Amino acid sequence: MRRPAVLSVALLAAGSLVVPAAPAAAVDEVDTTRLREAVTANGIVGHLRVLQRIANENGGNRASGTAGYEASARYVQERLLRAGYDVELQEFTFPYYEELTPTSLAQTSPQAADYETRAFTFSGNGQVEGAARVVDFADELPSTSGCEAGDFAGFPAGAIAVLQRGTCSFAVKAANAEEAGAAAAVVVNAGVEDPEELLNGTLGGPGTGIPVVGLSAAAGAALVAAATAGEVELAVNVDTLLEDRTTWNVLADSPTGAASRTVVVGAHLDSTLEGPGINDNGTGVAAVLEIAEQMAELGVHNRQRLRFAFWGAEELGLLGSEHYVAQLSDRELRATYANLNFDMLGSPNWVPFVYDGDGSDTPLAGPPGSARIERLFTDFLEPRGGSVPSEFNGRSDYGPFIAVGIPAGGLFSGAEGVKTEEEAERFGGTAGEAYDSCYHTPCDDTGNVSTEALAVLGDAAAHATMTMARTKTGFFEDLSRNPRAGALDAPARNAA
C-alpha cells in the first residue's frame, strides 16, 4: 500500500470539489450466501502461496518493472482466462526507481554520528557534504517548514536543509530547498505516535536534482538540537537508478452485465522492492481473484458488468490506476458505476477498516454514492463484530476514481499505524503495536497474514462485489446528482 504524502494533498484537494454525498438510498438486498461459502480463507491463501513462490524465484519481490511483477501478472491473467473472463494487459510506461546501494546520512563534526535514514522515492543522486541549516521548525504542528520560498531567506548555498514534515508535499519542500541552493534536504518526521518511526516518503515523480532523505522524530530532534547549538557538518550519500520501464494493469471483464454500468473491483498487484508483498497487497489480489473465480464457477449473472482490475506501479504513486482513469473516454467515464478497492486484507494485528464514504467520522466524504457503498460494508460487518471508519486520504487506488467523482468504497486491515486500546478491546490483537509490523519489509511473507482477517474481510468483499453486480436499484437518492445518470438506464446483458 502506497503512502504518498505528495499525492494525498492533491487528491484531497480534488475530492473537496466534489458535491457532498447525498443521503444513501437503498440498494437491493442480495443473497450472497453461496458466493461467501465458496470464497474461503483457504482459497485466498492458495493464491498467496503462488505469489510467495514467484517472489522467491525473482529476487524476493514482485515490484513493477521486475520479473517478479511480470510473473505475477501472467499468473493472474492465466487464472482469469481459465475462468472465462475477457482479459486485457493494459500496458503503460512508468518511471522505475531503485536504491542501488544503501543511503547514508552522517554527522562529521563536531562529533561523528551516523543516522538511520532512507532516500525518498525519486530523490536525486549524489554524495554531498555541507553545514546543516534548520529551516522554520515549529513547536506546534502541523508545520509549514520549507513550504514557502521565503522560509529559505538567507540560506547559504551548499548547505544541507533540515526540514520538518507537514502541511505541504515533500516535493514542494524539496523544490524550494533546491531553488535556494541546498546541496541536499533532510526531512524530519513529525505528527506520528512513534518518535523512532523512520520517515519513508516519496517526491511523487522524477524532477528533483538533490538528495532528499528522511529521519525519525527522535533522530531529527537530536540533529536540530546540535545544529541549533553550533555548526554541524553533514555528509549525505544517495545512489539510485531512475529509468522508464513498461508494466501492465491486468483487467478482466465479466461476460454478463451492462457495460453502461461498470463496477471496477480493484487491488494493486505490485509489491515494493523490499519484500514479497504478501499482505501488501497479495491479500487484496488473492481475495479479488478468488471472488472472480468463484463467481464464474457459480455462474452468477450480473446486472452491472464487473471489471476486475489488478493495478501496476501502485507503490510508486498509484500510477496504474491513474493511467487507467486518465485514458477512459467520456463515454467510459460516464459508464463507470463505482469502484471497490481492496488494499491489505490480512494484517496480523488487524482491524476491519471501512472507507468513510459519507465523511461522518473523517474529514472528507467520497463522491455521491460512496455513502451507500460504505453502508454496504458496515451493515454486513456489524453483526460480525463491527468496523472502524478509514478516511479517503488518497493513499490507495481509489484515489484517481474519487478525484473524478466516481463513487468508491472498500476495506483495509491496517498498515504501519498503531492499534489503539479501544481497537484491541473490540477486535483483539495487541494495543500499542503496528497493525502490520512487516509493512514494506522482507518479512511481509505468507507468515505475515491473519487467516481470521482473510475470512471476515474476504466475506465482506465477496458480499459487496456480488451485491453491486446484482442490485436492480441504483444507490443515488437523486439521480440528477450523478454525472453518469444517463448511463444507468441501459438494460443489463444476460442478466436474470
- Dihedral angle at the C-alpha atoms of 326, 331, 335, 341, nearest 10 degrees? -10
CA distance 120 to 293: 38
Listed in order, strand segments (DSSP E) in 295-383 are: 304-311, 336-342, 353-355
CA distance 455 to 39: 9
CA distance 8 to 436: 21
The closest of 456, 436, 452 to 444, measured between CA atoms, is 436
Query: Which 3 state secondary structure label does DSSP give 401?
Result: helix
C-alpha cell at 290: 478468488
Asked whether 351 and 358 are in contact (CB, 8 A), the reply is no
Angle between helices 67-82 and 41-56 (to 10 degrees): 140
Q: How many CB atoms lie within 10 A of CB 31?
A: 11
Looking only at the bridges linking them, the beta strands covering 233-253 and 126-134 are antiparallel
CA distance 208 to 171: 8
Asked whether 345 and 458 are in contact (CB, 8 A), the reply is yes
The closest of 461, 488, 449, 468 to 47, measured between CA atoms, is 449
HSE, CB side, 13 Å, CA atoms: give it for residue 33.
1
Angle at 377 between CA 491 and CA 278, to 5 degrees: 105
CA distance 456 to 344: 13
DSSP secondary structure letters along 31-45: --HHHHHHS-HHHHH
- The one catalytic residue in 314, 315, 416, 423 is 314
The closest of 267, 305, 221, 252 to 83, measured between CA atoms, is 252
HSE, CB side, 13 Å, CA atoms: give it for residue 417.
15
Asked whether 316 and 94 are in contact (CB, 8 A), the reply is yes
Asked if 293 is an active-site residue, the reply is no
Listed in order, strand segments (DSSP E) in 23-155 are: 86-109, 113-115, 118-119, 126-134
Active site residues: 314
